[in-house]
Amino acid sequence: MPEPAWRSLFRDRDFLRLWLAGLAVFVVRWLETLAVGVFAYTATHSAFIVAMLTMLRLLPMGLFGAFLGAMAERMDRRQALLVVLLSQIATSAAIATLALFDAVEVWHLAVASFMNGIGWAADNPVRRAMIGQVAGPPRMSAAMSIDVATSNGSRVLGPTLGGVVLALVGLDGAFLLSVLLYLPAVLAVLRLTPTPPAAGAAATKVLASIAEGLAMVRREPRLIGALLITLLFNLFGWPATSMIPVIGQDRLALGPSGIGLLAGMDGVGAFLGAVVVAVLAKPAQYKAIYLGGITLYFAMLPVFAWAPEPILSGTALLLAGIGGAGFAIMQPTLIFLATPVEMRSRVLGLLSVCIGLGPIGFLVLGGLAEAFGAPVATAAMGLSGLVALALTRRWWNPIQ
């Protein structure tokens, strides 16, 4: 009987190093998102500002994703990943220092969110491209399941840590913890096997590389469908996570620790969903998992938004997390399998662009929240996502 793909991956040292680096980055991402959201809402009482701070973590994907994808093919990805990690450490250390002296302003957090968003934008064309190279097509679904399970498990650990440390120590403690969590990731990346640039990549200009990636997408209906679904999720689904601190504080009367636990329920569901996909998913089911996941996520947003008490709200987030896991695993898997080896970093860079268009959704959500309140705005985004999904069927139907 052949060995399960997930088991062989955990015996691969380079995969383990990339997994560890991802784990550290994921935990810090959700820890800081929660800490920044709670701090900013306490300081400003503006749901719009909270949404904008989360948006700034996504904005670099839209601005720089395609360029990062093309540039990733021109350099050793190990070095690129190391540079990204060091820049994120510097950003978190700067905020921790400002907070220690009670000098933090909301605009400092905005700059830090944008800087760390650049690192997020590099994740698909750099670290995840390296995972795909290590795993190979036969183990790609299992590798992405493990990576997404880790990401979503961190959505339990990260917000919980963020809420507890914020309550006990303050913003300086939360960002100092971020710096410490990054250190194992740096050590893991330093021990990775070097990954030389793609053959002939340096001979092609960056803009020409991006154009070739776009041409590849236009020729492949499966890529068009996969990227469209990604765009819909990031316009209508992902922005809603920025309202968890607002709804938790205003509607459910929770403190920082309670908000952290509520935010973690999404991660619990996503972790469970990712484990199930890793063990049971077959290639013939990839499309159903992708589409079913985003549908469930959208459907749970109104339930979360209008739930009158924390248990029902948390249950809705749990189910949304399960759906989000199916979507998040199949997103890079379907794109990886539909793209030739030499084009993967470029197309994954375009994937980052689609994710990076999410700030449009954050702007809309923030405006709706200011005008009608966070619950109405969040529910409206989920319902709009379901309508948009139904109206675009002709473009995503070719996904296999």
- The answer to whether residue 182 scores a pLDDT higher than 90 is yes
* 0.75 exceeded by pTM: no
The CA-atom distances, in angstroms, between 276 and each of 145, 152, 156, 272 are 9, 13, 17, 6
Could you give all domains of the chain from N- to C-terminal order, each with its CATH number? 5-191+204-396 (1.20.1250.20)
- Check residue 206 and give its pLDDT: 57
- Check residue 85 and give its pLDDT: 92
CA within 13 Å, CB half, 14 = 16
Give the integer Cα–Cα distance in Å for 62 and 354: 7
Tell me the average pLDDT across 299-313.
92
- The answer to whether residue 94 scores a pLDDT higher than 60 is yes
Per-residue confidence at 202, pLDDT binned at 50, 70, 90? low
- The answer to whether residue 276 scores a pLDDT higher than 80 is yes
pLDDT in tens, 244-262: 888 888 888 888 778 878 8
Cβ of 190: how many Cβ atoms within 10 Å? Answer: 11
- The answer to whether residue 89 scores a pLDDT higher than 90 is yes
- 267 vs 31, higher pLDDT: 31
Q: 136-140, 176-180, 315-319: lowest mean pLDDT where?
A: 136-140
- 396 vs 293, higher pLDDT: 293
Which secondary structure element, helix H or strand E, spans residue 119, and what is its range?
helix 106-121
Tell me the average pLDDT across 352-360.
75
- Check residue 251 and give its pLDDT: 86
Tell me the average pLDDT across 166-194.
91
CB-count burial class (<10 Å; 0-12, 13-18, 19+) for 376: middle
What is the 8-class DSSP label of residue 126?
I
- Check residue 210 and give its pLDDT: 67
Sign of CA dihedral 143, 146, 152, 155: negative
- 167 vs 87, higher pLDDT: 87
Strands annotated E in the chain? none
- 3 vs 371, higher pLDDT: 371
Mean pLDDT score of the chain: 84
Range picked from 58-62, 97-101, 210-214 for highest mean pLDDT: 97-101
- Check residue 204 and give its pLDDT: 54
Per-residue confidence at 153, pLDDT binned at 50, 70, 90? confident
Per-residue confidence at 398, pLDDT binned at 50, 70, 90? confident
Per-residue confidence at 203, pLDDT binned at 50, 70, 90? very low
